[in-house]
Structure formats: structure tokens, C-alpha cells
Structure 1
């Protein structure tokens, strides 16, 4: 299915219907590792309805645990055509571990993954110790204990990441080893076999 047709498909929900989350899709701006807007006129502020319901549950838990804080969605539905652009941009580098191979398909392209962080009551992003799409070991959740012990991450930064993980886990999302901001729902192979990929 083409991204242009998502709005008429009953399996997808627009992020504007998910309160009280904030949205700043970084691939719709130059503020990303490629350095330019990849979405153009495409509206990519969508999730599969199951993921949207999970995002609502995550937002509810965050509101209870950290009054005044909100989830900020940095990416949601990512069309397969854009995934190809990201993969091609990193050709010849050792950074492709941070981008799903289009030959397998990104879970983002099924609307079942999101990238997120947390805003404080003043609307500022919490300090996570590295930036969104920062392709370094500082971004790896699996290395947090080591980075904390070596003084590369602070206790507050790790606590902020843990708060984010608790919230999205309550919504049914799981994280990955090398990106603190990325979360997805259900088994990847199941999603790729049974859900609709958006091109």
C-alpha cells in the first residue's frame, strides 16, 4: 500500500488522535542524520491501530509516573521508499546496524514501530545522554551499565531512559540493543508476514 493511501485504510490511526503525545517527525525536517526532509508532502504521522493504542497506554502511564511530562514521537510510520533512502545513504559505512535492511523491511514501514523521547513540563526534551539517531555506542541501551560505570552517562540520563522504557513497555512495545529511542510491537517476523507494508 502506498503512503498516500494510508488515510483511507482502517488499520491505521493518525497521531493527532493520540492524546496527550507531542509529535516532531525528524525525517520531515532537515534535523536528521541525512540532513534534509525525507518525507516532503507525505503525511507520515500514522501508526497501525494496535501501536496507536499502545502509545495511548504508554502516555497514560507516563502521565501518572511523571506529572506534566509527555511522550514526543520522533518517527512513526516510515514508508519503505524512505527506508531505502536511509539504507543507501549509509552505503560504504559501518553504520548500517542502525537502519533496517530494506530487503527484510523495517517495522516502521508497517506502522508497528516508533521512535520517541520525553518532554518535561516546560516542553524540553529530557537528557538521554545522546541525541536521536546518534550512531555511537552512547546510544546503546545494552551498554548503559558500562557507560554509567565509566562516567560517560550520568545516573539522571539512565533514569530518563528507564522512564521512557517503562512507559512504552506498558504500551506493549519492546526496545532494541543499540537505540534508546526505538521501540516496536510484536515479533518482527510475524509483523513482516501478516501486516501491510506501506510503500
Structure 2
């Protein structure tokens, strides 16, 4: 069952990015499966004092996923990606929209969450923006970079903090997107050697 995120705890805020960007079939709310939200609430207890999570996206409708896929494809084409290279680059950032319940896009299951961390002044810096599809958005980009500046060291430490907290409560990370984590999805099950995971596509009200 999908549940709204915004009133779960004062340590979780929402910024429904795709609704604010005018994407189809979106709401001024973020939704997750109940078991996933429970894990996220557990993760808030590991946040240092004064910090909170900002949920940028959770469950998506098929129509939203399709629109994101098409826009990302266009953006990558403008960057010069075509043919096989376009397909490979696109697969890093957006799951192929499908209604096949055996191969669901993680966000369609309510088991994927895009998030960041905020303090009293706003979102803490992570070194790239949400949905900035380039190498800087790779989760461990700053881990691999030599001679970090003071600012880059801050990015590194902030990403490390988010990753450590989310992994500790059972989520898995995404190598290409520092903001993306999953729990109870097919990818999660394969990563952790689990047999049980949510195999389906959810709609609001179900």
C-alpha cells in the first residue's frame, strides 16, 4: 500500500520535484510503500542533530516514468549521445518504462526513493544537483578524485553520511545517482541475495 510521506515525522520533508516541474500524473506529495517509509523513519534516527531528510521523489505512475524517460532521452541527445551510446547512458539514469510486473521500474513499485539532507539553511551541498546526469552525480565520484578542494571534501563527507545512514537500515544505493536508494525492489533482492521482494506495480488508492 502506498502512503504519503509528508506527515510521517518532522525529520522528513518533501519537495515533490516532478509535480513542481509540471510532469503528468503527479501530486503535491511524495508516496512510498508503507514498509519503505518505516525504514526511512528508522533512518532519520541516525541523522545528526539539526538535520532532516528531504524526499524529492518516491512512487511514480507509469505516465510520469514515461515522461521522465522521454525528456532525459532528449537531453542526452542534445549532449551528443546517439544509438548504442545513448541507450547505455540512458540506462544509467532512468529505468525503461514498462507495465510488465516481472520487470517493474523501481519507482513504480513504491520501493525507490530520491532524497537529500537539509539543515536549518536548506539542502546541504552534494556536489551535483538532483537529476544532473553526468559523472559528478556518481555516488563515489569524489571518493575517486585526487587532491580534493575544501568544498569537494564537504561534498564527499555529505554523500558519505547519506550513504552510511541509508545502508545501515537496509537500503541499497545507486552507483550513478547519489540521491537514489531502494528497499524491497527486485534490484534490492538481487543485490542482497534475498528471495522475497515486492513484485508489482502500484497505483494510488491500491
Task: Report the TM-score, using the length of structure 1 for normalisation.
Answer: 0.79
Q: Quote the Cα distance in structure 2 between the aligned partners of 1:42 and 1:118.
A: 22
The 3 A distance-change label for structure 1 pair 123 and 21 is farther
Offset of 1:150 from its aligned partner?
Answer: 5.1
Task: Identify the residue that residue 69 of structure 1 maps to in structure 2.
Answer: 51
Task: Give 1:1-199 correspondences, 5 Å limit.
Answer: 11-19=1-9, 20-30=11-21, 37-39=22-24, 42=27, 44-62=29-47, 66-91=48-73, 93=77, 94=86, 95-96=89-90, 97-103=92-98, 104-120=103-119, 122-147=120-145, 149=146, 151=148, 154-188=152-186, 194-198=199-203
Aligned positions, number: 178
Task: Report the TM-score, using the length of structure 2 for normalisation.
Answer: 0.77
Gaps of at least 5 residues in structure 2 are 78-85, 190-195
For 2:108, what is the secondary structure of its paired residue? Answer: helix
For 1:47, what is the secondary structure of its paired residue? Answer: strand
- 51-60 or 13-22, which moves further after superposition? 13-22
Q: Quote the Cα distance in structure 1 between the aligned partners of 2:94 and 2:26.
A: 23
Gaps of at least 5 residues in structure 1 are 1-10, 31-36
